[in-house]
Every structure is written in C-alpha cells, then in structure tokens.
Amino acid sequence: MNNTFNDTMLRAIKGEQATHTPVWFMRQAGRSQPEYRKLKEKYSLFDITHQPEICAYVTKLPVDQYNTDAAVLYKDIMTPLKAIGVDVEIKSGIGPVISNPIRQYSDVTALGQIDPKRDVPYVLDTIKLLTQEQLNVPLIGFTGAPFTLASYMIEGGPSKNYNKTKAMMYSDEATWFKLMDTLADMSITYVKGQVEAGAQIIQIFDSWVGALNESDYKYYIQPCMNKLVAGIKALNTPVILFGVGASHLIDAWHDLPIDVLGLDWRTSISEAGQQGVTKTVQGNLDPSILLAPWDVIEARLKPILDQGLAHAGGHIFNLGHGVFPEVSPDTLRRVAQFVHDYTAKK
C-alpha cells in the first residue's frame, strides 16, 4: 500500500481545510470500464463479489484510473438480504427480483438475523484486502436504507410507483414498522462488520424514498433512520445519506445525525444552503452531462465547485446519481482532474 494516505475526503466530511475538493463517483466501479466488462463475460456480479481478489481489483480500478479521493466497495445493496432469508436474484436488464415477497406480519417475523462473519465473509475479506494492502484512499462501505430495501422486498422487484409498498405502509402499520425495525437492525449489524473490517465511511442509499412526501417520511421512515444512523455513528464512522428525487426531504434529512447530505442534480448546493443546510454536502452533476462535449461538462462543473467552495459546510464532488455504462472512462478521469485542479488551494 502507498504510505502516503490521501485523507482529503475525511477532512472534507469534518469540515476541515483540505488541499482540494475531494471527488468520487457513485457506480465508479464497473459498468463503464472495459476491464470490468471483460470480467463480466466470465463472471456474474454474484461471482465477482464472492471472490475477494477480483472484487478488490474492481473496487480499486477506478481509483487507479481516475485518481479519485475514495474507493467505494463493489457490491449490491441486496447483498445482506439473502442472509436473513430473502430469496433475491439479480436478473440482467431487470435488477433484483425477489421470489418470496413480504405480504404480512408473519413474513417479517420469519426473517432471520445477519452475522457478517458467517454470512458475508467474502465482503469482509475484500474490505481487509483493500484497506490493509491496496488502497491509499478511504474505502466507502454502504447499506441500503430500510425504505429502499423494503420497496424491493414488498414489490418483488423494481417498481415505478411503489403502490404495494405504500399500501402496506398505509394499511398495516404493525407490519410496516416491524419491517423497518428489522431492516434497521440488519443494516447496523452489517455495517458494523464492514467498519470492523476496515471501511472508513458509510453511505446509506435511500435511492427510492423520494416517492414519499415529507409528512409520510417523518412518520413512517424517520424513526428507523434515526436508529440506523445512530447505530452507525456509535461505531465512530461518518455517514453519508443519498437518495434520488428527494429534494423535498432535505429538511427532514438535515435533522438526522448524518455527516454528509447527498444531493441529486435537482437542487443546487446554494439552494440547499438557502434551506439551512450547514452539513457537508455531496454532489451533484447530472450524470447525463457526462455524455456531452467537454466544454459543456466544464461549464456545468464550475458553478457546482464554486458553490461547494462557498458552502458553510464542506463539499465532496460527486454525480447526482450513478455513472451510466455509456460514459467514457476518459471523461471521468478528466472530470476528477478538473475538480482537483480547479479547487486546489493556492
């Protein structure tokens, strides 16, 4: 491992002075990288995550190629669900498909508990390999948030409207809150395993919670999120929270004991600041812009970086969602370089 550890992102999270604005990309590992696509000809996502050497290679590759200030563990938010009894399969072109969806209270009480060392040792081994031998930047571990995980578990797969999920939420509160509590406990235990193995930052993906309005979020979701975030913070580990299309939940998110508030591209950093956000923010270039000519990309990067530098808290540059498979690795490398150069402290 390189002896010079790049702590820029950890400093930004704490609001400390850093040499430049740190950058990493959601879904930076895989998808758009030719080396990864070559691996996928031979191995499934499941195969890759179960082989620590290959998984570590995929995780570290974008750090080497793009010079990002953090690595994000290559895995799926569905990873811990099999261990508690969810029959989930990642189907190409569809996403997670669950053959035993949650329908009633007894389905929730039938779920087991995760023991990371027993159930996902390959995840822990990958983390150890990366943090003890390979990386000179922080490793971001992650978990899905209870609502987002529950949406798959209730719908049986991806959804556009979350009708079944909301129907349970509104009509069967006992089952709903039991499921939220069960998933929060699972995530805390799962994250604890990641942190003990060496992950230095945790991102909570609440990708689909923007489907709820603020009052429903506060009643049905915020209690379990307070529990989840507090459980991770007890590990002395910083927490990033991210969701898509959730600008209307910024106030509720800011009330959570998170360290970093992830913004998608719909709300600017200055608008978040005007709403009273003083925490470190992460974001938030629309990933579609990465398919535009460089002069367009650069013109969109500058205001985000300017607003980040002016923000009361720190700023971590990222996209407003994940990297598309069509994005050129050269573009990501160039973006990371531009962020570093443009924000370098003179």
Known binding site for substrate: residues?
27-31, 46, 76, 152, 207, 321
Instruction: State the binding site.
Output: 27-31, 46, 76, 152, 207, 321
On whether the CB atoms of residues 27 and 33 are closer than 8 A, the answer is: no
Which residues are bridge partners to 88 per DSSP? 98
HEC secondary structure over the chain = CCCCCCCHHHHHHCCCCCCCCCECCCCCCCCCCHHHHHHHHHCCHHHHHCCHHHHHHHHHHHHHHHCCCCEECCCCCCCCCHHHCCCEEEECCCEEEECCCCCCHHHHHCCCCCCHHHHCHHHHHHHHHHHHHHCCCCEEEEEECHHHHHHHHHHCCCCCCCHHHHHHHHHCHHHHHHHHHHHHHHHHHHHHHHHHHCCCEEEEECCCHHHCCHHHHHHHHHHHHHHHHHHHHCCCCCEEEECCCCHHHHHHHHHCCCCEEECCCCCCHHHHHHCCCCCEEEEEECHHHHHCCHHHHHHHHHHHHHHHHHCCCCEEEEECCCCCCCCCHHHHHHHHHHHHHHHCCC
Rounded to whole angstroms, the Cα distance separating 150 from 96 reads 12
On whether the CB atoms of residues 313 and 276 are closer than 8 A, the answer is: no
